Amino acid sequence: MVLSRFWLVIFISSILFVVVSLFSGNSYTIDHVLNGKKDDPILLSEHYLEQMPVFIKDSLKKAPDQTMVINRDTLNADTTYVYKNKVVKVFSGVQKSDGLLPTCKSTLLDLILPLMAYLAFFCGLMELLIISGASEKLAKVLSPVFVKVFPSIPKNHPSISYMTLNFAANFLGLDSAATPFGLKAMESLQTINPEKDKASDAQIMFMCLHASGLTLIATSIIGYRAAAGASNPADVMLPCIITSFIGTIAAFLIVGVKQKINFKSASLVLGLMVLIAAIVGLLMYVNHLDLIGKNYFTSNLSALILVAIIAFTLILSFVKEKKFTEAGTTVYEAFVTGANNGVKTGVTIFPYVLGMLVAISLFRNSGLFEIVSNWVAFAFSNMGVNKQITDALPVALLRPFSSAGSRGFLIDSMNTFGADSMTGRLSSIFQCSAESTFYVIAVYFGSVNIKNTRYALGTMLLVDVICVITAIFVASWFF
């Protein structure tokens, strides 16, 4: 219900703002909202050539392509004059994201189809793990901890192994693997959900822990920073880990209090201590490496572990081939069956993702997001917050809505202010330490047709705020 109302508010307010802007003269056209593409120039006005200043008129006549660009610098948008068919079109600024119709197309071609491919492959592997008995053994090993965090889940339930693989993939920055494992976990949790259209306590806990974005190896962030010329691309790794870890603990405590979980459980404390020890141990190892060593380690660890998981699954399936025979199938046929289920899941979640991304596209292109962002930055600056921090806030504000959009702001902030600036580093931490909340909710709850998400959205947004505040303090402390 909350998600539905929020979606309607974004959609309707964006449409109203676009219409008001058009009829008040603040916008010359709204075509870009429907048909424009990201980074296309925005049309501000049209004039007859005789109405233009003399120097512009002369420049356009002399230019081979009858185009003139002024104000070319890194801080202000170019103003471009294009003379065609007796009319001079004036463009300034670029579109922040695809329009409504291109978003529909790109959602299918650039997002859902690749996602379905990932789902097909990893769901095929999951089917092998299930039949070979590996997922059952993993669930037995981790049950003492998971039954404390998820008291409504029966001991040794298969969802435990799926959630473990999802957390591990997120932990290592393996987004392509995390989503299939997470969707499999949601499907498994749905089998023990007494109210099928309403999120269970276990599903909410899983979603909030997943969305808190605990990441150990921020591979993509390090890559962006290296491309932007950072002197030490991996220097944000520790701040990212600290921020995302605090966000994860906050999510666990908030949901745990709501669900009356026993925080004094010995197995729960032990599991938390093991996690902390693993993080500290890895950080100590990475810290003693030189710059090249850090880059090599962080770029290869995640990929190596993913390859190891694939190899382990296939080798175990070969060793346990008798179990596949007993189940009336072969290893390859079982993989195909799992892959087919992954494709079906991708088809199921497409409408949910499409609806959310189209609303976000309207919200951004209407100009409403920019106004909200500017007001938030203005409020922070009046509270005495450093301008370098307020310049990074667009990344934090857009992150819950769109990973691609916030990534664009991240790259822009590093290009504008420098990868080694406070703004560039803080933007990197914002991007790393949170999830695309609305996308995640649409995908995960949509995959099991849950309509009532209860307090999941509110909790996830609260955790996003905690991560933003934590990131600011951590970045100020480190840099």
Per-residue pLDDT tens for 247-303? 888 888 899 888 888 777 766 677 677 777 777 777 777 777 776 776 677 667 667
Reported for 297-301, long-range contacts at CB under 8 A and 24+ positions apart, including other chains, are: 298/217, 298/218, 298/219, 298/222, 298/234, 298/237, 299/219, 299/222, 299/223, 301/172, 301/217
349 pLDDT higher than 80: yes
Phi, psi of 290 (to 5 degrees): -80, 180
What is d(CA 46, CA 83) in angstroms, rounded to the nearest whole number? 10
Phi, psi of 26 (to 5 degrees): -75, -25
Dihedral, CA atoms, 157, 159, 161, 163, nearest 10 degrees?
-140
Rounded average pLDDT over 407-428? 83
* H/E element, 297: helix 291-319
Report which of 101, 92, 13, 46 is spatially closest to residue 366, judged by C-alpha positions. Answer: 13
Tokens standing for 236?
């944000």
Q: Which of 158-162, 226-230, 240-244, 470-474 has the lowest mean pLDDT?
A: 226-230
pLDDT recorded at residue 73: 46
Instruction: Tell me the percentage of the chain whose pLDDT exceeds 90.
Output: 7
| Contact assessment for residue 177 and residue 396, using Cβ atoms and an 8 Å cutoff | no
75 pLDDT higher than 50: no
> What's at 361, amino acid-wise?
S
Rounded average pLDDT over 185-195? 91
332 pLDDT higher than 90: yes
Q: CB-hemisphere CA count at 13 Å for 377?
A: 17
pLDDT recorded at residue 333: 93
204 confidence band (pLDDT: 50, 70, 90): very high
pTM for this entry: 0.75
170 pLDDT higher than 90: no
| Contact assessment for residue 416 and residue 74, using Cβ atoms and an 8 Å cutoff | yes
